[in-house]
Amino acid sequence: MAGIGFELRHMLRKNTLLSVVQAYAYAGVIGSGPWVFSIVGILLIGIFSASVVVPGYLVTQFQTSVTYLVASSLILTGLVQLAFTRFISDRLFEKQQELVLANLHGLLLIVLLVAGILGSVALFVVLPGQGLLYRLLMLAGFTLMCGVWILTVLLSGMKRYKAIVVLFGLSYLLIVAGALFMRRWGLEGLLGGFVIGNYVLLAGMWLLVVREFNPTGSYIAFDFLRRNMLYPSLMAIGLLYNLGIWADKFMFWYFPPTSQAIVGGLRASLIYDLPVFLSYLSIIPGMAVFLVRIETDFVEYYDKFYDAVRSGGSLGYIETMRDEMVYSIQQGLGEIAKIQTLAVLVTFVAGPALLDGLGISRLYLPLLHVQVIGAGLQVGLMAILNVFFYLDQRRIVLLLCMEFVLLNVVLTGLTMYFGAAFYGYGFALSTLITLSTGLALLTRSLNQLEYRTFMLQ
């Protein structure tokens, strides 16, 4: 639990306005850096290539192809991300660091093999009739991104946030440069730059893990496949959470009135994708608050609470630490609500100018407002889920993820039925209802924390 939490606490101990700003800015960059680099990088490629790549729709095909690569790789690797992180966490707690690298290699072998098989099938089912080079680049991009997500979640679990941000920044700088250099070759050139950048990103992350865990003994192992180490609940949570996030997007992509064919069987929704794209940039402040509060106040009292439990601390001290944990959660959620409310207000005021600057019709404005609210609620939901993970309440997290997926599918379907005026409300409402359920369950869990800790072990 050291790493970024230690650095943030060191900054905040100075107790000056500058140190507070510095801590939140640092957390914002660390927490949001990877996807900000991703979004900005793909946007820059589109902007700089629009006047060079002829015909212009090839840029749209590139951006759509990358979006599908991201979505499909996240959903597939969601099956193993959380479960493998728990496996590694347990091995580190047991001082068995020599098992980390070998099992990482075993997981990467399985993931890349499955991704290669599924990707190969998709080339013939989803992209029939497309050029051979384009299909091979899509296959390479899909398998590479699956490996990237595995290493990203492992490095995140190790609290190597700065390394992740630096690697993503350098890799997407290379992606932009490579895509712009090869844009003369059209769609394949743009996609080739993306594949090269992700190869460098994957290699850089792997070298970082090798440096952290020097190879000793066997180079490949499959201990994580043992029955008592599989954690099926975490596998289901990872899959369902990613499905919940992407469900409404896929529905809009394949609902004929809101989408259009882009390349092969890949479709996009111009009316829905742009507001979603912009709304996720608005949650950077909320992610900064989330990271600061979770990694400083909450983790500090969480550690003290369970240290006191393990070492036989007094009941009064244990109850005090429990109260401090609750207070830190309340403060963190309150600050997230305030900062995201401010982000919503800024979007309402600056939204027209933002759309005008990007050359986007103001008809997208109502949908942008709804999506910004939904994205802000998602930050709150992430915070709630993270607390439940700390408390090892996997059943509750699984229930919330199931609710999230079901509500997003049903409510998004209803908004499609009622027409364009309701687009976006499905995701926002499903996130709001799931967040409300999570808050109620979290309140009950915290009220029963001492009982669960002592009586259910």
Dihedral over Cα of 200, 280, 383, 331: its sign: positive
Nearest to 142 by CA among 115, 179, 110: 115
Chain segment 272-322, per-residue pLDDT in tens: 888 888 888 788 788 777 777 777 778 888 888 888 888 888 888 888 888
What's the pLDDT score for residue 2?
42
One-letter identity of residue 235: M
Phi/psi of residue 83, each to 5°? -65, -40
More confident residue, 13 or 386: 386
Per cent of the chain over pLDDT 70 is 88
Name the helix (H) or strand (E) containing 129. Answer: none
139 near 116, Cβ under 8 Å?
A: yes
The CB-side HSE value for 98 (13 A sphere, CA atoms) comes to: 3
If you search the block for the tokens 């996720």, which residue do you land on? Answer: 280
What's the pLDDT score for residue 8?
67
Chain segment 195-253, per-residue pLDDT in tens: 998 899 899 989 888 888 877 767 888 999 988 888 899 999 999 999 999 999 999 99
Q: Locate 405 and state its tokens.
A: 């997926």
Q: Locate 210 and state its tokens.
A: 């090798």
The dihedral formed by the CA atoms of 111, 117, 118 and 122, expressed in degrees to the nearest 10: 150
- When pLDDT is cut at 50, 70 and 90, the band that residue 30 belongs to is low
Nearest to 94 by CA among 102, 86, 105, 106: 86
Chain segment 76-108, per-residue pLDDT in tens: 999 998 899 889 888 888 888 888 889 999 999
What's the pLDDT score for residue 1?
36
Q: Locate 384 and state its tokens.
A: 């709630």
What's the pLDDT score for residue 365?
86
Q: How many CB atoms lie within 10 A of CB 88?
A: 23
- Alpha-carbon distances of 390 from 294, 299, 353, rounded to whole Å: 10, 9, 42
- Alpha-carbon distances of 277 from 152, 233, 270, 283, 364, rounded to whole Å: 22, 31, 11, 11, 12
